[in-house]
Structure 1
């Protein structure tokens, strides 16, 4: 069975992950240059089996049609370039009450960097969220992740400053 397509852009098909994507998931997340920006304590994916487990976990999360962690496939080649996500932000780690905030995010293989794919897929995710009724969407980025900070600016997101609100880390927050 083919994975469900969530949305498409000029160059991209954004779809659910499938088990056959496991080698690419592992190739993306085994790289320190990708994983260093992710999570409170960044770490690389240890083995191919971890990729299968994460695909299963993402598939379970993708049951609500508004939210998901999706594969970004290049239409021209069929190559999975990376991940785009639209997910509820976790409970705040700074002790404040959750306001039901939603996050857009992206993680791409280095062979896909510098071609505007993160911006294009994130713009599509934001449009998807707004069509589903969301009124605002956040992004949170490590302060030294200049590439992702640039994506936020290209998306027209408003900088909100540094926060420790989510993921137990000091992050730059953005809103659109």
Structure 2
């Protein structure tokens, strides 16, 4: 199911046929190094099938999801865009239902503005659904993702360990 479209992209639910591409994206250290409190690469192709199942289960929680970003011209899955509730704060404070936009792309899709385009679409999708503000959280040395936040017009709000038990740069739109 297509969730939203942009000029160059279809953002949709994952299919079983996407498993090889998911594994190819998340088996790479240059992608995985930015993800999670303890980054690690995807171990095997079976893990890709499991994560697709988990993502599609999450995609039923409209307007939230973890979606495939497919290029219109080639039908190639370039990566992932997500719009999800942030986890309960790791700093012990009370959560306020914060929502995060994020992106993970295959290196062959880097440098073409696809992360910015898909994230902008996800933000618009969230705003149309009534979400009032959306965060992005980025590792401080992830220069490419910091640049995406700037291109999206997100306001930097400083470093925090509020989520994911890691020091991250937080942005808000």
Q: TM-score range by the shorter chain?
A: over 0.9
2:60 is equivalent to residue 63 of structure 1:
yes
What's the TM-score, normalizing by structure 2? 1.00
Quote the residue 2:93 is aligned against: 96
Quote the residue 2:104 is aligned against: 107
Residue 107 of structure 1: SS of its match in structure 2? strand
Further displaced range: 56-65 or 6-15: 56-65
Quote the residue 1:82 is aligned against: 79
Give aligned pairs, total: 173
Measure, in 1, the Cα distance between the counterparts of 2:169 and 2:138: 5
Measure, in 2, the Cα distance between the counterparts of 1:65 and 1:50: 25
Gaps in structure 1 of 5+ consecutive residues:
none
Gaps in structure 2 of 5+ consecutive residues:
none
**Structure 2 counterparts to residues 100-139 of structure 1, below 5 A:** 100-139=97-136
Measure, in 1, the Cα distance between the counterparts of 2:54 and 2:61: 14
Measure, in 2, the Cα distance between the counterparts of 1:8 and 1:62: 16
RMSD: 0.3
What's the TM-score, normalizing by structure 1? 0.98
* Runs of 4+ that moved beyond 3 A: none
1:65 Cα deviation from its structure 2 partner? 2.0
**Structure 2 counterparts to residues 132-147 of structure 1, below 5 A:** 132-147=129-144
